[in-house]
Amino acid sequence: MHNKIDPKWKERIARHGYGINIATALEEDLEEYIETKIYKYIYKNFTDYTLRSLFQEEFKGFTIKDFRKIRSVTRAKLYTHLLQRGVYVAIHSNRYPLYKVLYNVLIEEEPHEWTDKEIIGALKEVSPIITVAL
């Protein structure tokens, strides 16, 4: 964990501390919101169930349309971040795009129980996986 937060990030974290108004947010605001959350999650070293709970709380109210508005690169960063830190995120494809995958993590009621096959698949996507739960 870092000792000091960069002033740029500190200001962003403060601005987005209580979420974002999705109804009025521009695409750039959504991008900044996601980048800020990823930074905070890394800084605080959140993983597994805690990270999943934070994601669901801090993105509550997001719809499939909201995730679709976000640039694909930023969606991929969020996907990779969650997966690398022990949150199960399904494999995406042309039929099951990233915006739907992220939305489904948001609305799932119970944490997914990883199978050995899913862990192996995740390790092909990202490595190392930073987790204490698997």
The owner of tokens 């915006």 is 99
What is the C-alpha to C-alpha distance for residues 46 and 25, in angstroms, rounded to an integer?
26
Q: Report the pLDDT value the prediction gives residue 3, as an integer from 0 to 100.
A: 66
131 part of a folded domain = no
Question: Is 32 a domain residue?
Answer: yes
Split into its structural domains, the chain has a count of 1
Inside any domain, residue 33: yes
Lowest pLDDT segment from 8-12, 56-60, 85-89? 8-12
Give CA–CA dist 70/26, Å, rounded. 10
Write the pLDDT tens digit of every residue in 36-47: 999 999 999 999
| pLDDT reading at 4 higher than 90 | no
In a domain, 133, yes or no: no
Cβ atoms of 41 and 85 within 8 Å: the answer is: yes
Residue ranges making up the domain that contains 27: 7-125
- What pTM did the predictor assign? 0.92
User: Which parts of the chain fold into alpha helices (H)?
Assistant: 7-15, 27-43, 48-58, 64-69, 72-84, 98-107, 116-125
Percent of the chain with pLDDT over 70: 98
